[in-house]
């Protein structure tokens, strides 16, 4: 379902804003089509962003494949305008949002149905919501959220008139962390999210203690698109990255080839968790993974040409592997991605507005 919206915002120097927002979009590797000196069009994963200026006003016209993606684009546009002129960004209004909107279109509350343990060290949350179908498109990851003060009744995010998410502050602030939708069953309104158990983590503790009927906030989905180049693949990750790796494997064609290096408990059968794959699998015990992953991947790269590499895991590993992918494997943007999923000794912070 295609969704559209537009806005026109008056600025002291609309040309500067046009160039600033255009440059920001281009930084994400999305090149503009120049339709005139004052008119750019960008195409990104089924969405179209058009920017125009006439010296006094910047006009932004958006078309997206889903309301969820449109919400994301509107918020990004308003935040980019705010970098140039925060007051003008406050006054910005969208053509599809003339009446107040109370909750972000991509927000919902999920209710726990049951907990299980697909593998040692991982709690599976099976959750339900009325509109679970809205989680099916647009990406693999969501933000899960709970009140940072667990004794308080949740105050969920709302939407400002300019389309930007308003995050509760102070005593009502939220604890927000990224997780991956492991499996979706929209026909029965269920989704599975697998949480790596690490005592002291708020979401991890909730996963271990929650009872059927307990609720948690979710926003998304977004991000985590499968690699385009499917030959010479290298996928690697610790247990937090097993859910996205499973989803990526499900999406690969039969011709996909390459290597898979994952943290997986000893004496457990990877086939019980990961879908069938032609990629060569190497499992490493979770307690050794962080020490060993770099040299294992280096050795694979020394023997075979890696054409597309992906890693998800602890911050220091992610940095080392990013460098390896770029420098030793000579992989450019779009052919490699190494993401810090968590950081030793540091509470993550998915959004600055939260704890």
Sites of contact with ligand FAD (CB under 6 A):
141, 177-180, 194-196, 198, 200-204, 240, 243, 341-348
Quote the least distance from Cβ 196 to ligand FAD, whole Å: 4
Q: Tell me how far, at minimum, the Cβ of 225 lies from ligand FAD, in Å.
A: 12
Which residue is at the shortest CB distance from ligand FAD?
Answer: 201
> Where is 217: in which H helix or E strand?
strand 215-222
Query: Is the CB of 278 or the CB of 294 nearer to ligand FAD?
Result: 294
Q: Look up residue 345 and give its two tokens.
A: 């000794």
Query: 125 to each of 89, 150, 189, 225, 264, how far by Cα in Å?
Result: 39, 19, 14, 23, 19
Task: Choose between 90 and 355: whose C-beta lies nearer to ligand FAD.
Answer: 355
Q: Which is nearer to ligand FAD, 82 or 208 (CB)?
A: 208
Taking the complex as a whole, the smallest distance from the CB of residue 118 to ligand FAD amounts, in Å, to: 12
- Tokens (6 digits) for 72: 């994301």
Q: Provide, rounded to whole angstroms, the least separation between the CB of residue 203 and ligand FAD.
A: 4
Helix (H) or strand (E) segment spanning residue 125: strand 122-128
Contacts of residue 78, defined as CB under 8 A and 6 or more positions apart, other chains included, come to 89, 92, 162, 163, 164
H-helix or E-strand containing 314? Answer: strand 308-314
Judged by CB, which is closer to ligand FAD: 16, or 205? Answer: 205
Length of the chain: 355
**Cβ closer to ligand FAD: 18 or 206?**
206
Of residues 38 and 210, the one with the C-beta less far from ligand FAD = 210
Q: Considering the complex, what minimum distance in angstroms separates the CB of residue 35 from ligand FAD?
A: 34
Q: How far is CA 165 from CA 76, 106, 110, 334, in A?
A: 10, 11, 19, 29
| Least distance (Å) between residue 341 CB and ligand FAD | 4
CA distances from 331 to 27, 157, 293, 309, 351 (A): 18, 39, 18, 8, 29
């Amino acid at each position: 379902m295609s969704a559209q919206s537009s806005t026109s915002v008056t600025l002291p120097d609309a040309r500067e804003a046009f160039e600033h927002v255009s440059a920001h979009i281009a930084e994400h590797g999305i090149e503009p089509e120049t339709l005139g000196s004052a008119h750019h069009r960008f195409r990104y994963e089924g969405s179209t962003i058009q920017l125009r200026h006439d010296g006094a006003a910047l006009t932004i016209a958006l078309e997206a494949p889903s309301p969820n993606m449109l919400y994301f684009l509107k918020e990004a546009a308003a935040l980019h305008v705010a970098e140039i002129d925060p007051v003008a960004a406050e006054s910005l209004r969208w053509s599809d949002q003339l009446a107040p909107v109370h909750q972000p279109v991509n927000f919902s509350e999920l209710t726990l149905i049951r907990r299980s343990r697909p593998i040692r060290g991982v709690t599976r949350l099976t959750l339900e919501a009325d509109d679970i179908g809205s989680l099916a498109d647009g990406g693999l990851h969501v933000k899960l959220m709970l009140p940072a003060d667990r004794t308080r009744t949740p105050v969920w995010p709302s939407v400002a008139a300019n389309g930007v998410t308003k995050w509760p502050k102070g005593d009502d602030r939220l604890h927000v962390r990224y997780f991956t939708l492991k499996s979706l069953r929209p026909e029965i309104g269920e989704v599975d999210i697998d949480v790596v158990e690490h005592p002291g983590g708020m979401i991890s503790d909730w996963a271990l203690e929650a009872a059927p009927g307990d609720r948690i906030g979710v926003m998304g989905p977004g991000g985590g698109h499968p690699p385009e180049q499917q030959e010479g693949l290298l996928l690697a990750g610790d247990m937090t990255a097993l859910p996205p790796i499973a989803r990526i494997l499900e999406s690969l064609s039969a011709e996909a080839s390459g290597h898979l290096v994952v943290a997986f408990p000893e004496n457990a059968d990877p086939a019980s968790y990961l879908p069938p794959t032609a990629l060569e699998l190497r499992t490493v015990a979770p307690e050794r993974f962080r020490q060993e992953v770099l040299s294992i991947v280096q050795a694979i790269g020394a023997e075979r040409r890696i054409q597309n590499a992906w890693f998800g895991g602890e911050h220091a590993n992610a940095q080392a592997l990013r460098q390896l992918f770029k420098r030793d494997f000579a992989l450019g943007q779009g052919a490699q991605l190494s993401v810090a999923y968590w950081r030793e000794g540091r509470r993550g912070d998915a959004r600055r507005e939260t704890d």
